[in-house]
Amino acid sequence: MRPCLSPTQILSSNVVLSERASQRHMTATAPDHNAIQLDRVSRHYTLGTTAIRAVDDVSLSIAGGEFLALLGSSGSGKSTLLNLMAGLDRPTSGAIHADGRNLAELSSLELARYRRNTIGMVFQSFNLLPRMTLAENVELPLRLAEVDHSERDARVAEALQRVKLDKRTGHRPAELSGGEQQRTAIARALVNRPKILFADEPTGNLDSATGESIMNLLIEIKETLGMTIIMVTHERPLAEKFASRLAVMGDGKLLSDGAIAGVKS
C-alpha cells in the first residue's frame, strides 16, 4: 500500500505553489554534511482496532553524496520510509531533517516547495504523461516551478542530453522502450537540479540488462552532479553492485545498515 499522492498529483499539487506562496521561516538544525537525518521516526496507521507500525522508531543519517539502497521484503516499510523522506507523508512521531529543515514541522506548502526544489523522484512505472512529448514531460516541473520560459528550453535540452535522449525530444512515451521511458523520467527528475534523488524500484519494470544501464546512468549522474541517491529495491545483487550503502528493513524497523566494501562514494 502506498500512503502517498500519485506522481501526477504530486506535480499538479505543486501548480498552486509559487515561491511567493510561502513566506514562513523554516526550522533549521540539520548538520550540513547530512543530506537526510532521521531521528526516531515512526509512521503508524490505525485500521479499526489494529495499529500498523509501517515505520517503527527508525534512526538513520544519510550523508551528502551517498547512494543508499533500502532493501527488505514486501510490506517491510521501505516505501513508507521513502515517502516520509520525500515529503509526501508525515511521521506519526520523530524528526526528519533534510536540507536544513525538520520536514515533520513544515506546512503543506513548505513540504511541496521541498519536493519541488530539493528532491527529484523516479518511480517503477515511469509515470510519464502519455499525450505529452518527451520535452513537454521533462519541462513540466520547470513550468510548475515558474521557471522563466527563456530558460526552460535550455534546461530541458540539457536534461535530455544527460540521459542521451536529445534526439527524441518530439516523441511521445509510447514510442519509446521501457529503458528510454525511465531515462526520460530521470531527466524530468533532474531538471529542477535536486540535491536528493529518490528512486522507488526504478528497475522493477525493466529487464536486467536495461536495469543495469539505468543504474549506470544514475551513478554517472550522481558523480557528475554530486547528488545523494536513495533507492528502494528488492534486488539485493543490484543494490550490492551499485549502491555505496545498504539499509535493510523488516516489520518497519531498520534491521541492518552498513557500507558496501570497496564501492564508490
Q: What type of residue sits at position 8? A: T
Taking the C-alpha atoms of residue 95 and residue 123, their distance in angstroms, rounded to an integer, is 25
Cα separation, 83 vs 13, in Å, equals 16
Asked if residue 91 binds ligand ADP (CB under 6 A), the reply is no
If one asks whether residue 52 binds ligand ADP (CB under 6 A), the answer comes out as: yes
DSSP 24: -
Question: In angstroms, what is the minimal distance from the CB of 71 to ligand ADP?
Answer: 9
Residue located via cell numbers 527528475: 189
Size of the site for ligand ADP (CB under 6 A): 15
Binding mask 12-51 toward ligand ADP (x if CB under 6 A, else -) reads ---------------------------------x-x----
Q: Residue 187 is placed in which grid cell? A: 531527466
User: What are the start-end ranges of the H helices in 57-126?
Assistant: 78-85, 108-117
Q: Give the whole-angstrom CA distance, residue 78 versus residue 249.
A: 7
Kindly state the smallest distance separating residue 223's Cβ from ligand ADP, in Å: 28
Closer to ligand ADP by Cβ: residue 29 or 93: 93
In contact, 243 and 215? CB cutoff 8 Å: no
Task: State yes or no: residue 1 binds ligand ADP (CB under 6 A).
Answer: yes
Which residue's entry shows cell 525530444?
A: 169
Shortest CB 115 distance to ligand ADP, Å:
18
Give the shortest CB-261-to-ligand ADP separation in angstroms.
25
Q: Based on CB atoms, which residue is closest to ligand ADP, 47 or 154? A: 47
In the complex with ligand ADP, the residue whose CB is nearer, 52 or 132, is 52
Q: How far is the CB of 36 from ligand ADP (least distance, A)?
A: 17
Q: Which SS3 state, helix, strand or coil, does residue 8 take?
A: helix
Quote the least distance from Cβ 249 to ligand ADP, whole Å.
6
- Please tell me whether residue 182 binds ligand ADP under the rule CB under 6 A: no
In the complex, least distance from residue 44 CB atom to ligand ADP, rounded to whole angstroms: 9
Does residue 233 touch ligand ADP according to CB under 6 A?
Answer: no
Least Å distance, CB 130 to ligand ADP, is 26
* Dihedral sign, Cα of residue 159, residue 188, residue 260, residue 233: negative
Nearest to 118 by CA among 38, 56, 64: 64
Nearer of residues 139 and 200 to ligand ADP, judged by Cβ: 200
Window 53 to 82, contacts with ligand ADP (CB under 6 A): 54, 72, 74-80
What 8-state DSSP symbol labels residue 104?
G
| CB-based contacts of 155, cutoff 8 Å, min separation 6 | 142, 147, 191
By three-state DSSP, how is residue 240 classified? Answer: helix
Residues at the contact surface with ligand ADP, assessed by CB under 6 A: 1-3, 45, 47, 52, 54, 72, 74-80
